[in-house]
């Protein structure tokens, strides 16, 4: 970042209070000696991310968490969630939710699309908070280090889905299941309810550049919809299959279908349980 960790620490101490600082101090991560992990994560910036996310998490989207006990306390895991909302607020809220609902605190590692690390400032802040470029090698290294990956198998088509297709899962990629089987990690299905209505998209303009398109939303800012994050029971693909099974397309395809069905079921449960878009 253009500023060192001590400035991030000063900001979090001033704005976040003791609880944020304590969370950051107890954070599990592998320090490479200078306070950063190999991918650039630094706990002081994780705390800063926590503070930046607080208004959205507590006041604007009023996130409610269900079933967070399903997040593994230690060891590798893959968080697989639906993706939506034009702006990736769902990723940010899920990131804060995992941080606040794990003890000791765990910083989930979102796998971002390739264009994200090319964005100035954003790429650096994201990296300090644990985001990594979505290459297979990065994912493999993180799982082998016992980290918690956050993956949105719908990818960019998910975040850009039209309002009429809200809560309908788009093309569901399979790489997360291959990773889970090969690198011995459970998959935790997650249904995020509320994000799909936050910023209805009415059109998009394809562009050539670091981002694939410019979205045309119906609102200039996300609506204050209420978020409900539902964590499902871990799917133990790593116990059901051997690492070599990750090469079997049929097994991987079926596993991805299971995860997709589990996420869809969580969404339907969440939709039936909520009292309204804003409640």
Partner 1 sequence: MISVLVTGATTTVGERFVRSLVADTRVRHVLAVAREPPEQALPFSHGNRLTYLSVDLARSRHVRELLFGPARDLGVEVVVHLGQHRSGFGKGRKVHAANVEALRSILDLADRHPTIRRLVLKSYAVAYKVSLELPILVREDHPLNLSPKAPQYIRDRVEADLTACARMGLSSFETVVLRCAEALGPGTGSQIYDYLDAPVAFRPLGFDPMVNVATVEDMVVALEKATHGSGEGVFNIPGYDTLPLSEATRKWGTPSIPLPGGFLRPAYNLRHRLTGSEFEYGLNRNRLHIGLVLDGTRAREVLGYVPRHPIDWPIGGPVADPALDDSPD
Closest approach of Cβ 79 to partner 1, in Å? 20
With CA atoms as reference, report the closest residue to 260 among 114, 154, 157, 135: 154
135 to each of 179, 188, 189, how far by Cα in Å? Answer: 11, 20, 21
Q: By CB under 8 A, what part of segment 147-176 binds partner 1? A: none
- Give the range of 31-39, 184-192, 194-202, 257-265 binding partner 1 by CB under 8 A: 31-39
**Interatomic CA distance for residues 200 and 194, integer angstroms:** 12
Closest approach of Cβ 243 to partner 1, in Å? 17
Closest approach of Cβ 257 to partner 1, in Å? 27
Binding mask 66-105 for partner 1 (x = CB under 8 A): ----------------------------------------
Among 118, 168, 242, 254, binds partner 1 (CB under 8 A): 118
Told to check if 123 binds partner 1 by CB under 8 A, we report yes
The answer to whether 110 and 79 have CB atoms below 8 angstroms apart is: no
**Interatomic CA distance for residues 213 and 115, integer angstroms:** 11
With CA atoms as reference, report the closest residue to 45 among 71, 58, 27: 27
Among 2, 206, 209, 276, binds partner 1 (CB under 8 A): 2
One DSSP character per residue, 102-134 reads SSS-B--EEEE-TTGGGSTTHHHHHHHTT-EE-
Binding mask 197-236 for partner 1 (x = CB under 8 A): ----------------------------------------
């Amino acid at each position: 970042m253009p500023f060192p960790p001590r400035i991030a620490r000063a900001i979090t101490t001033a704005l976040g209070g003791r609880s944020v600082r304590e969370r950051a101090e107890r954070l599990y991560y592998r320090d490479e000696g200078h306070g950063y992990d190999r991918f650039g994560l630094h706990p002081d910036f994780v705390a800063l991310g926590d503070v930046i996310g607080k208004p959205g998490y507590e006041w604007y989207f009023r996130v409610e968490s269900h079933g967070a006990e399903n997040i593994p306390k230690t060891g590798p895991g893959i968080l697989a969630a639906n993706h939506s909302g034009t702006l990736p607020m769902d990723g940010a809220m899920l990131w804060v939710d995992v941080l606040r609902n794990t003890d000791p605190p765990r910083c989930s590692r979102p796998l971002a699309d390739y264009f994200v690390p090319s964005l100035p400032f954003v790429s650096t802040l994201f990296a300090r908070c644990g985001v990594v470029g979505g290459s297979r090698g990065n994912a493999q290294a993180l799982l082998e280090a016992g980290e918690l990956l956050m993956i949105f198998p719908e990818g960019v088509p998910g975040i850009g889905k039209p309002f009429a297709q809200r809560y309908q899962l788009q093309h569901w990629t399979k790489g997360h299941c291959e990773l889970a089987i090969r690198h011995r990690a459970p998959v935790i299905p997650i249904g995020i309810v509320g994000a799909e209505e936050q910023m209805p998209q009415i059109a998009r303009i394809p562009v050539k550049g670091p981002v694939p398109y410019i979205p045309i939303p119906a609102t200039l800012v996300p609506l204050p919809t209420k978020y409900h994050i539902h964590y499902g029971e871990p799917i133990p693909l790593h116990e059901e299959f051997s690492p070599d099974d990750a090469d079997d397309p049929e097994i991987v395809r079926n596993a991805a279908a299971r995860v997709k069905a589990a996420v869809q079921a969580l969404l339907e449960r969440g939709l039936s349980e909520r009292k309204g878009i804003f409640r």
